[in-house]
């Protein structure tokens, strides 16, 4: 098991839909182990395979007392609505108000190709939706309301300029 480096916004792998898993082999088992190990780091709720550079449809989650993974996940049921702050490991330093379903049910399989169902409310529901979006090449900022999206894009540009200037604000 290895804690893997994260891919950040701007990396094309984050904007590419992941491929369904068709080979259940040792390489997939290593990927799942790495996803589980990497999501255990403090402050992490979920992690999609493309966030560590893999193009396979797998994610791990670690919310409250729920810890696990799904292979070839899909959201099969949502209900209700919740507004809340959402962030992303691949978009560091950005938090934004995002509406999601309050309850979500995801289905997939495990390494033995057995069906797995994960149902959650609140933060787990948010995580299931967020990670499933990742596997489709969608970032959480894509679903923000227009004023919030403009604010976030402005902040991302400012952060990019500051980073290019070596962490210093641009000169006037």
Structure-block tokens of residue 116 = 């797995």
Task: Give the separation between CA 101 and CA 99, rounded to whole angstroms.
Answer: 7
Contact indicator for 137, 85 with CB cutoff of 8 Å: no
Per-residue pLDDT at 112: 98
Could you say which residues of the chain have pLDDT below 50? 170-172
Per-residue model confidence (pLDDT) at position 164? 79
- 12-164: CATH class: alpha beta
The pLDDT, as a whole number, for residue 165 is 78
Q: What is the pLDDT of residues 32-81, one digit of tens each?
A: 999 999 999 999 999 999 999 999 999 999 999 899 999 999 999 999 99
Q: Identify whether the C-beta of residue 139 lies closer than 8 Å to the C-beta of residue 12.
A: no
pLDDT at residue number 168: 53
Catalytic residues: 131
Q: Kindly state the tokens that stand for 38.
A: 């990497």
Q: Is the dihedral of CA 126, 5, 110, 17 positive or negative?
A: positive
User: Quick one: pLDDT at residue 172?
Assistant: 45
């Amino acid at each position: 098991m290895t804690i893997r480096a994260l891919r950040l916004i701007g990396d094309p792998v984050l904007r590419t839909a992941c491929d369904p898993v068709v080979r259940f082999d040792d390489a997939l088992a290593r990927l799942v182990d790495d996803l589980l190990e990497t999501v255990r780091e403090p402050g992490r709720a979920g992690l999609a395979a493309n966030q560590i550079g893999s193009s396979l449809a797998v994610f791990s989650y670690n919310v409250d007392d729920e810890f696990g993974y799904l292979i070839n996940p899909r959201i099969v049921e949502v209900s209700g609505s919740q507004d809340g702050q959402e962030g992303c490991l691949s978009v560091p330093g950005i938090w934004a108000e995002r509406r999601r379903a309050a309850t979500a049910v995801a289905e997939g399989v495990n390494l033995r190709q057995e069906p797995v169902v994960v149902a959650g409310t609140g933060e787990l529901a948010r995580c299931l939706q967020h990670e499933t979006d990742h596997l489709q090449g969608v970032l959480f900022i894509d679903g923000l309301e227009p004023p919030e999206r403009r604010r976030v894009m402005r902040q991302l540009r400012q952060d990019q300029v500051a980073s290019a200037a070596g962490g210093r604000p641009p000169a006037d």
